[in-house]
Structure 1
Amino acid sequence: MANIGKGEVSLDLGDVGRFTLAFDMQALVAAEEAADRPIADLLDRAKRGFMGASRAIFFGALQRHHPETSIDDVDELLNVHGDTIAHALGKTLDASMPAADAAARAVEGKQGANPPGKSSGRSGAAQGSTPKRSGKPRRAASNSSSPPG
């Protein structure tokens, strides 16, 4: 049984059977090893339509509950049920990373008050501003070499 709180999603492929997809550490490592690429690269490539990346991610997502599933099995499932699988993979990824999404939204919210690159300089003055002297005005320097007397 899929547990959405653990990043698991049920996938019903009719006569083929029911599967539970999960994105945990085991899934991420299995996907990386299947494609010989880091998971961030795989996710980016899958979003851009690279089928090899999607295959590796689907393979990894099956390993927690269906370790007997081979890459060849994954290819057959994708050939017949590609759209259904793509939808389930999207749901699984969303369910597995809610904390990351919340953290990203929190960071975006904090940037409103003092976004990067808009901070003041070391002195506290706005960047590019001209410093103003405080206290009494200075006397002009004299041109004579002898001390005043």
Structure 2
Amino acid sequence: MGIFIVAIFILLIGYLFISMAKISGERANEIKKILEDNKNLVETEGTLELIKVEGGWRTRSFDVKIEFKNQNGKVFSYDETYTPSDSKASFLWKCENKGKVAVTVIYNKRNPNKYYIKELEELKVNENSKIALAIIGGLYILAGLCTIYVGIK
């Protein structure tokens, strides 16, 4: 009976990984939608300032402040939180104790709330996470099914 409890636990872990892969895929699709609207996209220079790093060794989050000017000279400022599963953590680590760092911002001129920072490579990270997490989840589910098979036999 104990082996079936372990198998169910392994299957749940697999399902969790596949759910996380789905979330990464949805984020990647959102970013693609922002970048597909070529006629309203504007690329500009902005700044990124790392405000705070929170969390432990595996669960870090980076609180950043992003500022850029639109084509009319109006300054937009956003406070965001990024995790290594959202963005390129190595770039964020390089920003620590550097103050404001220059970044390239691509934004929608009709809605500046929709922006993308090239250096964080969010699209690439989410696409890779989607694939890796789905594979890991599939392997966990396969391990759970094998455990059930061994328990029955």
Same fold (TM over 0.5): no
TM-score between the two structures when normalised by the length of structure 1: 0.30
TM-score between the two structures when normalised by the length of structure 2: 0.30
| Higher Rg | 1
Q: Which has the higher strand share?
A: 2
